[in-house]
Structure 1
Amino acid sequence: MTGADRAAIISEITGKPLRFTVLDEAQLRLSLPQAGVPDRYIDSLIDIEKHFLAGSFNIVTGDVERISGRPPQRLREVLLQQLA
Protein backbone atom coordinates (compact mmCIF):
# COMPACT_ATOMS: atom_id res chain seq x y z
CA MET A 1 0.00 0.00 0.00
CA THR A 2 1.51 3.30 -1.07
CA GLY A 3 1.48 6.55 0.85
CA ALA A 4 -1.04 7.85 -1.68
CA ASP A 5 -3.24 4.79 -1.00
CA ARG A 6 -3.13 5.45 2.75
CA ALA A 7 -3.90 9.14 2.27
CA ALA A 8 -6.89 8.30 0.06
CA ILE A 9 -8.32 5.96 2.69
CA ILE A 10 -7.88 8.53 5.46
CA SER A 11 -9.45 11.23 3.29
CA GLU A 12 -12.40 9.00 2.46
CA ILE A 13 -13.02 8.03 6.09
CA THR A 14 -12.61 11.53 7.55
CA GLY A 15 -14.29 13.36 4.68
CA LYS A 16 -11.34 15.77 4.65
CA PRO A 17 -9.01 16.28 1.73
CA LEU A 18 -5.57 14.79 2.26
CA ARG A 19 -2.85 14.30 -0.26
CA PHE A 20 0.41 12.46 -0.06
CA THR A 21 3.53 14.20 -1.26
CA VAL A 22 6.95 12.67 -1.74
CA LEU A 23 9.75 15.11 -1.08
CA ASP A 24 13.00 14.65 -2.94
CA GLU A 25 16.25 14.41 -1.00
CA ALA A 26 17.05 18.11 -1.32
CA GLN A 27 13.61 19.08 0.00
CA LEU A 28 13.98 16.65 2.90
CA ARG A 29 17.41 18.03 3.77
CA LEU A 30 15.89 21.51 3.99
CA SER A 31 12.67 20.61 5.77
CA LEU A 32 13.88 18.18 8.44
CA PRO A 33 15.96 20.76 10.35
CA GLN A 34 13.04 23.20 10.07
CA ALA A 35 10.87 20.53 11.73
CA GLY A 36 13.36 20.32 14.59
CA VAL A 37 15.12 17.11 13.57
CA PRO A 38 18.70 17.13 14.87
CA ASP A 39 21.36 17.10 12.15
CA ARG A 40 22.78 13.76 13.37
CA TYR A 41 19.54 11.97 12.36
CA ILE A 42 18.97 13.49 8.92
CA ASP A 43 21.11 11.09 6.86
CA SER A 44 19.49 8.08 8.55
CA LEU A 45 15.96 9.39 7.98
CA ILE A 46 16.69 10.11 4.34
CA ASP A 47 18.11 6.61 3.92
CA ILE A 48 14.96 5.11 5.47
CA GLU A 49 12.78 7.19 3.14
CA LYS A 50 14.74 5.95 0.13
CA HIS A 51 14.13 2.36 1.24
CA PHE A 52 10.40 3.04 1.68
CA LEU A 53 10.18 4.50 -1.83
CA ALA A 54 12.10 1.54 -3.27
CA GLY A 55 9.63 -0.86 -1.65
CA SER A 56 12.27 -2.43 0.57
CA PHE A 57 9.83 -2.74 3.45
CA ASN A 58 6.94 -4.13 1.39
CA ILE A 59 7.09 -7.62 2.83
CA VAL A 60 4.38 -9.83 4.23
CA THR A 61 5.14 -11.98 7.26
CA GLY A 62 3.12 -13.73 9.91
CA ASP A 63 4.68 -11.60 12.64
CA VAL A 64 1.59 -9.57 13.55
CA GLU A 65 -0.48 -12.67 14.18
CA ARG A 66 2.39 -14.50 15.86
CA ILE A 67 3.04 -11.63 18.29
CA SER A 68 -0.54 -10.50 18.92
CA GLY A 69 -2.30 -13.83 18.62
CA ARG A 70 -4.77 -12.23 16.18
CA PRO A 71 -4.77 -11.95 12.42
CA PRO A 72 -3.83 -8.52 11.08
CA GLN A 73 -6.57 -6.09 10.10
CA ARG A 74 -6.77 -3.98 6.99
CA LEU A 75 -5.86 -0.32 7.44
CA ARG A 76 -9.40 0.75 6.51
CA GLU A 77 -10.85 -1.40 9.32
CA VAL A 78 -8.41 -0.06 11.91
CA LEU A 79 -9.04 3.54 10.91
CA LEU A 80 -12.81 3.10 10.91
CA GLN A 81 -12.58 1.76 14.47
CA GLN A 82 -10.21 4.49 15.66
CA LEU A 83 -11.75 7.47 13.89
CA ALA A 84 -15.42 6.58 14.34
Structure 2
Amino acid sequence: MQNIEFDLAPGAPYIEVNQLLKVTGISDSGGAAKAMVADGMVRVDGAVETRKTAKIRAGQVVTCGNVRIVVREATQA
Protein backbone atom coordinates (compact mmCIF):
# COMPACT_ATOMS: atom_id res chain seq x y z
CA MET A 1 0.00 0.00 0.00
CA GLN A 2 1.29 3.44 -0.93
CA ASN A 3 1.43 5.92 1.95
CA ILE A 4 1.14 9.68 1.48
CA GLU A 5 1.59 12.23 4.24
CA PHE A 6 -0.35 15.42 3.56
CA ASP A 7 0.20 18.60 5.57
CA LEU A 8 -2.73 20.99 5.85
CA ALA A 9 -2.08 24.55 4.74
CA PRO A 10 -0.97 26.84 7.60
CA GLY A 11 -4.07 28.13 9.38
CA ALA A 12 -6.41 25.75 7.55
CA PRO A 13 -8.37 23.53 9.97
CA TYR A 14 -9.42 21.07 7.24
CA ILE A 15 -9.45 20.14 3.55
CA GLU A 16 -12.47 18.76 1.70
CA VAL A 17 -12.06 15.11 0.73
CA ASN A 18 -12.54 15.76 -3.00
CA GLN A 19 -9.83 18.46 -2.90
CA LEU A 20 -7.50 16.14 -0.98
CA LEU A 21 -7.81 13.45 -3.66
CA LYS A 22 -7.04 16.02 -6.35
CA VAL A 23 -4.03 17.71 -4.71
CA THR A 24 -2.42 14.39 -3.77
CA GLY A 25 -2.74 13.15 -7.36
CA ILE A 26 -5.13 10.29 -6.57
CA SER A 27 -7.59 11.75 -9.08
CA ASP A 28 -6.90 13.73 -12.23
CA SER A 29 -9.57 16.35 -11.55
CA GLY A 30 -12.07 17.55 -9.00
CA GLY A 31 -14.88 15.96 -10.99
CA ALA A 32 -13.11 12.60 -10.99
CA ALA A 33 -12.55 12.91 -7.24
CA LYS A 34 -16.25 13.60 -6.66
CA ALA A 35 -17.14 10.54 -8.74
CA MET A 36 -14.77 8.36 -6.69
CA VAL A 37 -16.45 9.52 -3.49
CA ALA A 38 -19.95 9.05 -4.93
CA ASP A 39 -19.03 5.51 -6.05
CA GLY A 40 -18.01 4.55 -2.49
CA MET A 41 -14.32 4.15 -3.31
CA VAL A 42 -13.12 6.42 -0.50
CA ARG A 43 -12.84 5.61 3.20
CA VAL A 44 -12.17 8.01 6.05
CA ASP A 45 -10.88 6.39 9.24
CA GLY A 46 -12.08 3.03 7.90
CA ALA A 47 -15.68 4.05 7.11
CA VAL A 48 -16.99 4.63 3.58
CA GLU A 49 -17.35 8.36 2.93
CA THR A 50 -20.05 9.46 0.49
CA ARG A 51 -20.01 13.20 1.20
CA LYS A 52 -17.93 14.83 -1.53
CA THR A 53 -17.11 17.85 0.62
CA ALA A 54 -16.52 16.05 3.91
CA LYS A 55 -14.07 18.02 6.04
CA ILE A 56 -10.86 16.06 6.63
CA ARG A 57 -8.88 17.25 9.64
CA ALA A 58 -5.40 16.56 10.99
CA GLY A 59 -5.09 13.04 12.36
CA GLN A 60 -7.58 11.49 9.97
CA VAL A 61 -6.64 8.77 7.48
CA VAL A 62 -8.17 8.60 4.00
CA THR A 63 -7.85 5.47 1.88
CA CYS A 64 -8.71 5.01 -1.77
CA GLY A 65 -7.78 1.78 -3.47
CA ASN A 66 -4.23 0.92 -2.45
CA VAL A 67 -3.38 4.48 -1.36
CA ARG A 68 -3.42 5.65 2.26
CA ILE A 69 -3.29 9.39 3.00
CA VAL A 70 -2.41 10.56 6.51
CA VAL A 71 -3.47 14.17 7.09
CA ARG A 72 -1.24 16.19 9.40
CA GLU A 73 -1.24 19.68 10.84
CA ALA A 74 0.87 22.23 8.99
CA THR A 75 4.47 22.21 10.08
CA GLN A 76 5.82 25.43 11.53
CA ALA A 77 8.76 27.00 9.72
TM-score by length of 1: 0.24
Larger Cα Rg: Structure 1 or Structure 2? 1
State TM-score, norm by structure 2.
0.25
Higher relative contact order (CA 8 A, sep 6+): 2
Structure that is richer in strand per residue: 2
